[in-house]
Every structure is written in C-alpha cells, then in structure tokens.
Structure 1
Amino acid sequence: MLIDYHTHHVRCGHASGELEEYVQKGIELGLTQLGLSDHMPLLHVDPATYLPGMAMPMEELPHYAEEAFRLQQQYKDQIDIRVGLEGDYIEGYEAEIEQIIQAYPWDYVIGSVHFLGEWDISDFRQLDEWKERDAYKVYQQYYDAVQKAAGTGFYDYIGHIDVIKRFGFKPEQNVEHLENDALRAVKAAGIAIELNASGLRMPVNEMFPSRRMLEVCYEWGIPLTIGSDAHQPERLSQYLDQAVVLLKDIGFTELATFQKRKRKMIEF
C-alpha cells in the first residue's frame, strides 16, 4: 500500500507542475493513493502587497477543486485520488476558514500552521524575523497555535507539526513540553498527524516530526499518515521509503487514509 497525501501544484504560486502531472507521476510510481492538497488561499494578508507566491488566489480555489475532482474520476481505474486542502490555521479567522472547508466535498483537510500573524515561519525570505524575536517565545506562540488548530474540529490531521524547526532555529530552552502539549491537543481532538518527509531536504535535515514525537504518538495511540510535501512532480513520494522504515522501527503497523472526511487505517 503506497500513499502520499501531501502535494502542491502550480496554482499555489510556489510550486511547479499541473495537477495532472502529479497524477501521471503517481501512476508511474505505482502509488495506491494520491492526495491532492494545495494551500488554502490567504485570508489575513493582502496578496497584492505581500510577498509573491504565498498561496493560490481566492478566485482559483473553485478551479482547483473542479479540476481535482474531475481527475479523480478520470483516473479512477488507474490510481485512487483523494482530494484535499491544506487549510492553514490563522488565529482569528476561524469563521472564514470553516466557510472554505465546508464549501467543497473534500476527502480530507490538513491543518497546518505557517503564519504567526503576518510572519510566515516557513518562508526562507522571512528569516530575518528570527533576529527580532526570542526563539523560545516563537516556539510557545507556534505550539499554542497548533493546539488551537487541533481544537477547532476543522481538520482531519495536523501537517508537519514541528515545522517551526525547519530552518534550524531552536531556543536554548527545552521545548519537549510544548511539543507534548500540542500532541495532547491532537489526541484530545481525535485527529491524526502526518510524518512529513520533506524535512530531509530542509536545513534542519530531519523529518517532521522528530523521532521523539513519533514515539510519543505511538505510545499515546495517535494515528499517522505520510506525505512528501512535494512541490514538483519529480519529488512525489520523495523520502517516503525512509519514512516507512522509521515508522516500522518505532512499531507502527498502520497508516491513516481519508475519504469523504472519514479516516480509515490500513496496514503497511
């Protein structure tokens, strides 16, 4: 059973490749299930005045959904496509996020935190912001947002739950209690997280989340899915072989899959 639930495409502004190219690549790779999961449009900043390429324009969202569901039917005899959305959590914009999520019959919605206010902590163009802030307070703010995202009930799983470490900025203080608080919120919400392999191509050179957090998930019974977070078709399923080895080494025997917002565990 080969799956990849986290992918991005040309519409999001910072990826390349059409949706159909990902589908064709998934077939070539022999994927059993392919998740299409582009970024939700920005809600809290003006795209016209912000850094380019942050997310798909709002007017593109219906076209994304229409094309994704069309491809799901067109290729149903060759690959099982699940249509999703990475629904960025923005504190204070819960009503707008919920409206977008409810407007389409998604198979799944990823809850990810990229923004702390107008600062995108995952954008390499905004690294100078770290120089202006206390790293520990940033981690506190980030994991507080993750807890709030989990508590909304909007999401099927939390994406790259410790992506705050992406560029290698870490406080001197131990942050394990912050990570555990976020995982407790996930557990309480009854949702899953993903093992996002893309961290292996980031400065941190570690998957999201860390092995320690994965071991806590195993101990607490938090379900996991996997995703490459591919932003180019050629990176589809990149490092997922290593992700599977890591999960098996910890003791996981099942992965979470999603259809029509229902979770189903499958053996791997």
Structure 2
Amino acid sequence: MWIDYHTHHVRCGHASGSLEEYVRRGIEIGLTQLGLSDHMPLLHVDPATYYPGMAMPMEELPKYVEECLYLKDKYKNEIDIRVGLEGDYIEGYERQIEDIIKAYPFDYVIGSVHFLGEWDISDSRQLAGWEGKSPEDVYRQYYEAVQKAARTGFYDYIGHIDVIKRFGYKPAEPMLELERETLDVVKACNLAIELNASGLRMPCEEMFPSRRMLEYAHSIGIPITIGSDAHQPERLGQYLDQARELLKEIGVTQIATFSGRKRSLSGF
C-alpha cells in the first residue's frame, strides 16, 4: 500500500501543477492511492485584501471537485484516486465549514489549523505575528484550536498536528502535557492523524508530528495516514519512504485510508 493523501495544485494560489499532472506523476512513481486535497476557500478574511495566494477562490471549489471526479474515473484502471479537501478550522465559522463539507462527495476531509484569528501561523510572510508573544501562549492557543477542530466532527483526520513548530519557534521546554492532551482528544473523537513528511524541508527539519507525538498517538491507538503535502507535482511522494520507515520503527503495521468518509486500515 503506497499512498499520498496530502497534495495541492495550482488552484490554491501557492502551488503549481494541474490535478492531472499530479495524477500522471502518481502513476509514474507507482502510488496505489492518490489523495487530492486542496485548500478550502477562505471564509474569515477577504481574499482581495489579505495576503495573496492563500487558497482557491470559492467559485473554483465546484470546478475542483468536478475535475477530481472526472480524473478519478478517467484513470480508474491505473491509479485509485481519492477526492479530498484540506478544511481549515476557523473558530466561529463552523456552520460555513460544515456547509462546504456536506455539499460535496468527498472521500475524506483533513482538519488543519493554520489560522489563529487572522494570523496564518504557517505562512512565511507572517512571521512578525510571533513578535512580542510567548511561544508557550501561542502553542497553547494553537493546540486548543486543534482540540476544538477535532470535537466538531467535521473531519476524518487531523493534518500536520504540530505544524506550529514549522518555523522553529518553540517553547523553552516541550509542552508534553498539552501535546498528549490534544492527542487524547483526537482519540476520543475517533479521528486519525497524518504523518506529514513536508516538515523535513521546513526550518523545523522534522516531520509533523514529532516522533514523540507519533509514538504516543500509536500507543493509544490513533490510526495514522501519510502525506507529502506536495505543492509541486515533482514533490509528490517526497520523503514518504522515510515516513514509512519511521512508522515501522515505532511499530505501526497498518495505515489509514478513506473512501466515502469511511476509514479503513491496510497493511503497508
């Protein structure tokens, strides 16, 4: 079972490559399943006045899903395509998020926290947001948002659960209790998490989540899937060999896949 469930394409504004280029690349590298999972449109900020290229425009969402379904059928004899969405959790916008998720026949929806208010903590253009803030306070606010996302019931798994570390801003000591509390909430909500390999090319130089979080997640029985978070077709599958080895090292023998919003576990 060779999968990549986290990918982005040109519609999101900060990636390149068409959906079909990703599909062809997936076939080329021998993926069993390819998840197409572009960013949900922005809901709480005005795309015209906010930072450019953050997510696909709302009018592109139906076109995105239609194209995904078309490619799923076109290439059904060559690769198993799963139609997904990376659905930002934005506190106070739960109804709008739920409406989007329920409107389309997704195979899976990733629950990701990028925003704390109007600050996108994953955007390199917004590092000034850290100025004057205690990393401990920011981490606490971030993980509280992840817990709220898990409790909504909107999502199938939590994406890059410790992405708050992306640019290397960290508390003086690891906030182990907060990490475990968050994973306990994920477990109680019957969600999976992903091992997102893209952290290896980020300033943090570590996959999302850290090995310690991954080991705890496995110890309490949280299912795990994997993704490259590719923003270019040539990065599809990047570092996933290392991700698979790490999973094997900590004793994971099955990987989570999704179809029609239902989770299955397969050996890999």
Gaps (5+ residues) in structure 2? none
CA distance in structure 2 between the partners assigned to 1:258 and 1:190 by the alignment: 14
Instruction: Report SS of the residue matched to 1:252.
Output: coil
Amino acid at match of 2:13: G
CA distance in structure 1 between the partners assigned to 2:46 and 2:58 by the alignment: 11
Equivalent residue runs for 1:65-76 within 5 Å: 65-76=65-76
Which residue of the partner structure matches residue 54 of structure 1? 54
Aligned-residue Cα RMSD (Å) equals 0.5
Instruction: Report SS of the residue matched to 2:88.
Output: coil
Which residue of the partner structure matches residue 150 of structure 2? 150
Equivalent residue runs for 1:1-268 within 5 Å: 1-268=1-268
Q: Provide the aligned length of Structure 1 versus Structure 2.
A: 268
Quote how far apart the aligned CAs of 1:32 are.
Answer: 0.3
- Deviation per CA, 1:170-199: give whole Å up to 9, x if none: 011431111111101100000100000000
Amino acid at match of 1:212: R
Instruction: Report SS of the residue matched to 1:46.
Output: coil
Instruction: Report SS of the residue matched to 2:44.
Output: coil
- Deviation per CA, 1:152-176: give whole Å up to 9, x if none: 0000000000000000000114311
Amino acid at match of 2:256: A
Amino acid at match of 2:58: M
- Deviation per CA, 1:106-162: give whole Å up to 9, x if none: 000000000000000000000011113111110000000000000000000000000
CA distance in structure 2 between the partners assigned to 1:122 and 1:94 by the alignment: 21
Instruction: Report SS of the residue matched to 1:6.
Output: coil
CA distance in structure 2 between the partners assigned to 1:218 and 1:45 by the alignment: 36
- Deviation per CA, 1:181-231: give whole Å up to 9, x if none: 110110000010000000000000000000001110111000000000000
Instruction: Report SS of the residue matched to 1:222.
Output: coil
Instruction: Report SS of the residue matched to 1:7.
Output: coil
- Deviation per CA, 1:90-116: give whole Å up to 9, x if none: 001000000000000100000000000
- Please identify, of 29-38 and 124-133, the stretch whose mean Cα deviation from structure 2 is larger: 124-133
CA distance in structure 2 between the partners assigned to 1:199 and 1:173 by the alignment: 20
Instruction: Report SS of the residue matched to 2:222.
Output: coil
Instruction: Report SS of the residue matched to 1:226.
Output: strand
Instruction: Report SS of the residue matched to 2:91.
Output: coil
Instruction: Report SS of the residue matched to 1:87.
Output: strand
- Deviation per CA, 1:27-60: give whole Å up to 9, x if none: 0000000000000000000000000000000010
Amino acid at match of 1:148: K
CA distance in structure 1 between the partners assigned to 2:227 and 2:187 by the alignment: 20
CA distance in structure 2 between the partners assigned to 1:217 and 1:127 by the alignment: 29
CA distance in structure 2 between the partners assigned to 1:7 and 1:174 by the alignment: 29
Instruction: Report SS of the residue matched to 2:147.
Output: helix
Instruction: Report SS of the residue matched to 1:132.
Output: coil
- What TM-score does the superposition give when structure 1 sets the normalisation length? 0.99
CA distance in structure 2 between the partners assigned to 1:132 and 1:64 by the alignment: 40
